[in-house]
Structure 1
Amino acid sequence: MSNIGLQKTVVIVGAYSSIGHDISQKFINSGFEVFGTYSSGRKKTPNNMPSSFYLDLSSEDSIEKFTTNLKKVCKKIDVLIFLAGILPGKSLEKYTFAEVDNVMSINFSGQVKVLSKLVPMLSNQACILMFSSISARRGSFDPIYAASKGALLSFVKSMSSKLPMGVRINALAPGLIEGSSMYMAMDPIVQERHKMQSNSKNLLSMQDLSEIVFDISQLKWTHLNGACIDLNGGAYV
């Protein structure tokens, strides 16, 4: 079925995260209809975003409610982006069993459950982007966070040949993003250390990230499928 003449739609899981605002705004400014999710607190609405939904990725009831409500207002999905993630920043012995389950649910299994419900809504040239991390590539002080982000990479590779014909799925693995909530929570000394790990001696900005995400969603990238795109400035190769 052709989508010519129809407004394109993007669903952004985690649209109200610190990196989600610029990404949502880029798609809105480019004429997309944007549907976004938030998980806690008072959401800050990007300009002209018509629809937003509460979604707790650790709750199957919440996932069911979200997907059911989305289907009432969204007939097809051209771009599906998963931005959600949490980083407790703990060593293994500091984790409780419940915290292990929560990190894996929000960073991996909850996203997989959402995708399983939304596959029938994907258009015939849809693009799926899942956010992994440099931690999935080189490991992390927080091994559960790194494992959850690594699981996304294996999932993306596996699904690249299992989705409906024409649909593609890829992962992005950024390093620290300047201005993000993770960045703002860091001591300035740690921020500077991350900058020095990059050959350019600076960090990826949220605005540049939004441009990259939008560009990859375009049809000229049709042959990019099952890949992980590293955005770390050479900090890990």
Structure 2
Amino acid sequence: MDQQNMAGKVIIVTGAGQGLGEAIARTLAAAGAVVCGCDIQEDRVRNVATAIRDAGGAAYSYLLDVRNEDEIRKTVDRVITEHGRIDVLINNAGTDTTLSIEDLSIADWDRVLDVNLRGPFLLSKAVYPLLKRQGKGHIVNITSTAAKRVWTEATAYHASKWGLLGFSHALHAEGRRDNIKVTAVVVGGMRTPFIMDRFPDTDPNVLQDPRNVAETVRFVLTQPNETVIPEVMVLPMRETSWP
């Protein structure tokens, strides 16, 4: 099987400063990719890029708020200027506010939807014409089992992740016409700050290592040119909240 080689591929990863984004950045850099890590927390993403370079990989850090259209345009332009092309966009940055609808402010709702749904749209819209001109490319949207089921105190998060899954499949349908692959990676609970910092009582043994999910992302990106994986789900074996 003629699998795609990651060597030299220029890959944007949002939310690369910690958690799954960091794991994806490290995994793809180890496979030979040129990782352009973006994060709203500049120190963290810079440290990740430095660690990757110290390990012999190629990584660069960019301060980016995915809610800001102007910052996105400037960052995409910088990546093109500095690296000549963009081969893959990984929309990983995410946030949540765990409150009931009565306690959830409109500002909280807007922030969660802006980061989790509008951000991937803005980035995909900025990168799509570049991939189209190149004749190929890949967009990966990191969604969640929150796009398949629901729990309480998470209306904004569910709305954003169900929306991102729908957006991803719709963009997949459009992208095929231009030889652009689009994949939604539906992720179950991971041992990352996103869960452990907010829910410290969670048993880490029922969660999965984010590096396992990062390996799935790498697998998706290495499929032959004639094959695309529109959606893949990656669950911890012991996560009790999933049937």
Using structure 2 for the length normalisation, give the TM-score. Answer: 0.83
Q: Paired residue for 2:86, among 68, 73, 77?
A: 77
CA distance in 2 between counterparts of 1:92 and 1:72 reads 44
Q: Which structure is higher in helix share? A: 2
Q: State the Cα deviation string for residues 85-107 of structure 1 (Å, max 9, x = none).
A: 00111111112111111111100
Alignment RMSD = 2.5
**Which residue in the other structure is 1:169 paired with?**
182
Q: Please state how far the C-alpha of 1:222 moved relative to its aligned partner.
A: 4.9
- Asked whether 1:68 is paired with 2:52, we answer no
Q: Number of matched residues?
A: 226
1:18 maps to amino acid:
G
Q: Which residue of 1 aligns with 2:146?
A: 135
Runs of 4+ aligned residues of structure 1 deviating over 4 Å after TM superposition are none
Residue 124 of structure 2 contacts residue 139 of structure 2 at CA under 8 Å; is this kept in 1? no
Kindly provide the amino acid, as one letter, of the partner of residue 117 in structure 1: A
**Residue in 2 aligned with 1:229?**
233
Cross-structure match for 2:40: 39
Cα 1:14–1:222 change in 2 (3 A) is: farther
1:135-181 alpha-carbon deviations (Å, 9 max, x no partner)? 11111321111110110111111111212532211111212102443
Task: Confirm or deny: 8 A CA contact 2:66 2:115 kept in the other structure.
Answer: yes
Q: State the alpha-carbon separation in 2 of the partners of residues 125 and 61 from structure 1.
A: 25
Q: Distance between the aligned counterparts of 2:52 and 2:95, measured in 1?
A: 25
Alpha-carbon displacement from aligned partner over 1:19-61 (angstroms, at most 9, x marks no partner): 2222111111111111110102522223214421111122222
Residue ranges of structure 2 left out of the alignment (5+ in a row): none
For 1:187 and 1:230, the matched residues in 2 are separated by 22
User: Residues 213 and 222 (structure 1 numbering): CA distance in 2 closer, same or farther, change over 3 Å?
Assistant: farther
Q: Is the 8 A contact 2:169 2:184 kept in 1?
A: no
Q: Is the 8 A contact 2:79 2:85 kept in 1?
A: no
Please give the residue correspondences for 1:1-237 in structure 2 after superposition, counting only pairs within 5 Å: 7-40=8-41, 42-43=43-44, 44-45=47-48, 46-48=51-53, 49-122=58-131, 123-141=134-152, 142-163=154-175, 164-188=177-201, 191-192=202-203, 202-220=206-224, 222-233=226-237, 235-236=241-242
Asked if structure 1 preserves the Cα contact closer than 8 Å seen for 2:141 and 2:184, the reply is yes
Distance 1:89 1:121 in 2: 37
After superposition, the Cα gap between the structure-2 partners of 1:7 and 1:42, relative to the gap in structure 1 and judged at 3 Å, is closer
Q: TM-score under structure 1 normalisation? A: 0.84
Partner SS, residue 173 of structure 2: coil
- Percent identity of paired positions between Structure 1 and Structure 2: 21
8 Å contact kept, 2:143–2:184: yes
CA drift at 1:230: 4.4
Q: Please, which moves more after superposition, 86-95 or 57-66?
A: 57-66
Structure 1 portions without partners, runs of 5+: 196-200
